[in-house]
Amino acid sequence: MIIQESRQPLIEKSYVYSESEWEQSAQTLPLHHILQAWAWGEFKARWGWRATRLLWRDGQPVAAAQLLRRPIPRTPFGIGYVSKGPLLDPENPGLAAQVLNGIEAEAQRQRCLFVKIDPDVLASCSPFVSLLERRGWRRGDYIQFPNTGTIDLRPDEEALLANMKSKTRYNVRLAERRSVEVRLGRADEFGHFYQMYAETSARDGFLIRPRDYYLDLWRDFHARGLAEMLLACVDGEAVAGLILFYFGSRAWYFYGASTEKERAAMPNYALQWAAIQRAKAHGATEYDLWGAPDRLDDPEDGMAGVWRFKTGFDAQFREQIGAWDFPAFSLGYRLYTDALPRLRGILASSPMS
């Protein structure tokens, strides 16, 4: 059952089939995110998903949701996912109700057993959480990190350096003294970056997808101007790197890679400082370092060490509402979550699933 809670006039909802219309709208909306970019839907379509793009207007765009659907093999059903969306003002309950209503209806129309959302809504936004609960949404398994850390890029570079922890600032300067040079990577160097990424995966114990998946993503976003690769080099050899993504006024650090070479030269510190400078020069006002512990007071959290590195650059903890599921077909959802856990492997992936 779909609940219409808002008494305000209905906002126009429409499907969007034009890349330019979608990008012009989505980049200006609250909570805009690279995983709601048109290019993300096109990329995922090459890997088994189908994108449907919904836009709400009240004279001008006020909300958007790119719904990805993946079929469940040998059934007429699928699973739905609005990755890092919907894009909306969560403090506007009337608008939020209409957007959720539209997502729920679309999930049912496409015969999704359930649809998952995980917008960048702060955990302190209790009215939005209450609205989800009243409409029958349930807390679900998260695909993306539920929390993150962000840096405000509006201060000048001198202030950004001053805001860092002293040890981090020291390591940034140490990298300069040890002749670590950071340069932009070329499209033909993504293969080398993947080799470093695979080495990092083996060393740090996290799973990654096949090479072709990443090369497709990185090259496509790079060609569209939505991503760039930074490489830290010592004596001309790339020993570490990261990939920076841009959308609207925000920038994201999703992928970092390094080798065992020249670690004492602090190339990762040089990379992050260069990424901050690049993002600021690109016009971003916020840099999202993608991922933070579930709880800051838990030293055993697997993200604790990474978080210490990020806080050195003045990353501020952002606790968010996490992932929520709407069971469009309740019985099927119960089977999916309780009796058929193997199906959930469809969603298992890297942090940018």
pLDDT at 336: 83
Q: What does pTM read for this prediction?
A: 0.92
Looking at residue 66, its amino acid is Q
pLDDT at 349: 46
Confidence of residue 166 (pLDDT cuts 50, 70, 90): very high
Q: What domains, with CATH codes, occur in the chain? A: 12-144+321-346 (3.40.630.30), 148-317 (3.40.630.30)
Higher pLDDT, 343 or 135: 135
pLDDT at 10: 73
pLDDT at 342: 59
Using an 8 Å Cβ cutoff, are 33 and 80 in contact? no
Tell me what the pLDDT averaged over the chain comes to.
93
pLDDT at 1: 44
Please give the helix or strand (H or E) that residue 126 lies within, else none: helix 126-134
Confidence of residue 173 (pLDDT cuts 50, 70, 90): very high
- Cross-strand pairs, 229: 243
Range 82-102 average pLDDT? 97
Return d(Cα 39, Cα 194) in angstroms, integer. 21
pLDDT at 343: 52
Q: What is the DSSP string of 262-316?
A: TGGG-HHHHHHHHHHHHHHHTT-SEEE-----S-TT-TTSTTHHHHHHHHTTTPE
Return d(Cα 272, Cα 182) in angstroms, integer. 10
pLDDT at 353: 55
Alpha-carbon distance values, 152 to 160, 170, 250, 283, 350 (Å)? 9, 21, 10, 12, 26
pLDDT at 8: 58
Share of the chain above pLDDT 90, in %: 86
- Cross-strand pairs, 286: 152, 250
Residue with tokens 């119960």: 334
pLDDT at 37: 98
Using one digit for the tens of pLDDT, what is the confidence trace for 246-284?
999 999 999 999 999 999 999 999 999 999 999 999 999
Confidence of residue 6 (pLDDT cuts 50, 70, 90): very low
- Positive or negative CA dihedral for 128, 132, 133, 138? negative
Range 335-341 average pLDDT? 72
Using an 8 Å Cβ cutoff, are 251 and 245 in contact? yes
Using an 8 Å Cβ cutoff, are 272 and 161 in contact? no
Using one digit for the tens of pLDDT, what is the confidence trace for 201-216?
999 988 999 999 999 9
Return d(Cα 226, Cα 220) in angstroms, integer. 9
Alpha-carbon distance values, 225 to 165, 184, 221, 229 (Å)? 32, 13, 6, 11
Using one digit for the tens of pLDDT, what is the confidence trace for 11-63?
899 999 999 999 999 999 999 999 999 999 999 999 999 999 999 999 999 99
Q: Which two tokens stand for residue 280?
A: 């600021």
